[in-house]
């Protein structure tokens, strides 16, 4: 996730202090991973240096997160550009699981058992997310669904691979 662009975008509705930005970020996007103050501070100084934000005021008392930030014209343009550009799709070509399957076949261990264990582990996580989804609000549902669809894709691959182990074994073994 691009923290810089996200914090920048949060400033479009009006100037905020660093701690206020952190709170807004955590509330909307920090579900599992709240920001550290250090991250906010370093990100804001970078945005400041690049002219994407400016200091709009400083609270009495001083200190790094007493600054109030406002987005600049350049900052608004930067957010707009970020939203227009598509994210690079994950290629998913480097798979530890695939490697493990091949190694198991090469070393005469059970690839089927490995796939079974992995399926159980994936399903365990899917249960946790499904449970969280049924108790959560729309934001929770969308975040969990995103993860669930990816896990489901992994499981389809596991299933397909487990039906092709004999062929794969014949190909990878010298």
Q: Under the rule (CB under 8 A), what is the footprint of other proteins?
A: 113, 116-117, 119-120, 122-123, 126-127, 129-130, 134, 148, 151-152, 155-156, 159, 163
Q: In the complex, what is the shortest distance from the CB of residue 107 to other proteins, in angstroms, rounded to a whole number?
A: 16
Q: What DSSP string describes 79-136?
A: HHHHHHSPPPPP-----HHHHHHHHHHHTT--HHHHHHHHHHHHHHHHHHHHHHHHHS
Identify which of residues 80 and 113 has a Cβ nearer to other proteins in the complex: 113
Local structure of residue 62 (DSSP, 8 states):
-
Q: What is the distance between the alpha carbons of residues 150 and 129, in angstroms, rounded to a whole number?
A: 12
Query: DSSP letter at 67?
Result: E
Q: Nearer to other proteins by C-beta: 49 or 167?
A: 167
Shortest Å, Cβ 151 to other proteins: 8
C-beta closer to other proteins: residue 80 or 123 = 123
Q: What is the torsion angle, in degrees rounded to the nearest 10, for the CA atoms of residue 143, residue 4, residue 93 and residue 91?
A: 80
- Residue 40 or 129: which CB sits closer to other proteins? 129
User: Measured from the CB of residue 119, what is the shortest distance to other proteins in angstroms?
Assistant: 6
Partnered with residue 68 across adjacent β-strands are 17, 57
What is the nearest approach in angstroms of other proteins to the Cβ of residue 19? 38
């Amino acid at each position: 996730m691009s923290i810089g662009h996200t914090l920048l975008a949060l400033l479009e509705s009006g100037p905020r202090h660093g701690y206020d930005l952190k709170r807004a970020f955590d509330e909307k996007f920090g579900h599992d991973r709240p920001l550290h103050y250090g991250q906010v501070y370093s990100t804001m100084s970078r945005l400041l240096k690049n002219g994407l934000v400016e200091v709009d005021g400083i609270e009495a008392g001083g200190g790094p997160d007493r600054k109030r930030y406002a987005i600049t014209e350049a900052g608004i343009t930067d957010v707009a550009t970020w939203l227009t550009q598509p994210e690079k799709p994950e290629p998913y070509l480097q798979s530890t699981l695939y490697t493990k399957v091949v190694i198991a076949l090469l070393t005469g261990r059970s690839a089927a058992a490995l796939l079974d264990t992995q399926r159980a582990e994936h399903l365990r996580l899917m249960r946790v997310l499904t449970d969280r989804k049924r108790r959560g609000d729309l934001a929770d549902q969308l975040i969990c669904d995103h993860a669930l669809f990816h896990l489901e894709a992994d499981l389809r691959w596991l299933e397909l691979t487990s039906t092709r182990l004999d062929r794969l074994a014949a190909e990878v073994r010298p």
